[in-house]
Amino acid sequence: MGHPKFSEAASSACPSCGATNAIRLFSRSLGDKIWYLARCPDCTQYYTDPRPTLDDIKTFYSGGYHADLLSEEETELEFGEKFRGYADWICSYVRPGPSLDIGCTTGLFPYVLKQRGFNAEGLEINEVTARWAEQHYGITVRNEPFETANYSGRSFRLISMADVLEHALHPVTTLLRVYSLLEDGGFAFISFPDIESLESRYFKTLAQMTGRSWLWKCCHIPGHTWEFTKPTAEALFRRCSFRVVGFRRSHRNDFQHISVPITILVAPPLLLGTSLFRERLGTQMEFILQKVSSSVPVASRTVITNP
């Protein structure tokens, strides 16, 4: 069940600024644990409370997590149009060179980048999916967490994290490592949903009114360690010495095979999938960042790593 927790203090400090006065807003059960969405009143960052561990994160995405995608037809249907759109946009900013796609799932995105001239490779925490990606797309895919993967500094021109950074154990530390692996002036492509988008606020209201937490489909705790807004994302990027050189929004409606009553409930957000609204109000945020090579990231001296 999901319900407001406005008077209940979070059990963990804000992973962004370290403040200890965050408040729980929403709850969701997974397995035998209850997880909460917390919000820090100081820096406005949303995050999962209690903080997931690396073992928790591995468990969330182990086994058959990607089983439905392990065919060329299904992975193309799910990601093909989106990933080619990402690649087109990236190529308007970045010359081909060595690239790393973190959390590459089936490997389609690095394959698309390879077709555009990039020396592309991937990294995927799910062993079954990583091996499938190598076999079907002929790209190098490491099967290990980014936190422990051994890469040389300044070895990539582009690092992409499509719907990945919000899953990271310590997103500040992760982004600092991305910074260290990029060549001077290199680029990062990052995408994730906006927890305060119009769609998200609509479904949050429905979930709170009905007591059904699954209705807030834009809130992904505990799978998302952090939930971002555009201001909190931009603050994180500045802190890690990236400048935003490209920003856009997109929107995808994923309402298939649903009952008539549910169709009525989701009808208003369907408008966000139209061209009139998706670029201005869409839930998905997409950023192209450039490494500011002349500066030392402030966050490298202040990263909070303890749950």
pLDDT digits (tens, 9 = 90+) for 250-303: 877 665 444 445 555 665 565 555 555 566 778 899 999 999 976 667 665 444
Asked if the structure places residue 100 within a domain, the reply is: yes
Answer yes or no: is 220 within a domain: no
Residues 81-121 pLDDT 10s: 999 999 999 999 999 999 999 999 999 999 999 999 999 99
Q: Is there a domain that residue 304 lies in? A: no
Q: Between 226 and 54, where is the model more confident?
A: 226
Residue 249 inside a domain? The answer is yes
Q: Percent of the chain having pLDDT more than 90?
A: 55
Return mean pLDDT, the chain: 85
User: Has residue 21 been placed in a domain?
Assistant: no
Ranges 42-46, 200-204, 251-255: which has the least confidence = 251-255
In angstroms, rounded to a whole number, what is the distance separating the alpha carbons of residues 128 and 305? 29
How many domains are there within the chain? 1
33 within domain boundaries: no
Looking up residue 69, the CATH number of its domain turns out to be: 3.40.50.150
In a domain, 179, yes or no: yes
| Mean pLDDT (whole number) for 177-198 | 96
The answer to whether position 224 is within a domain reads no
Structure pTM? Answer: 0.87
Mean pLDDT for 186-214 is 89
pLDDT of 198 reads 87
Domain region containing 107? 52-194+229-293
- In this prediction, residue 71 carries a pLDDT of 85
- CA–CA separation, 176 vs 198, rounded Å? 30
CA distances from 222 to 39, 167, 168, 238, 269 (A): 14, 9, 11, 26, 24
* Segment 53-78 mean pLDDT: 79
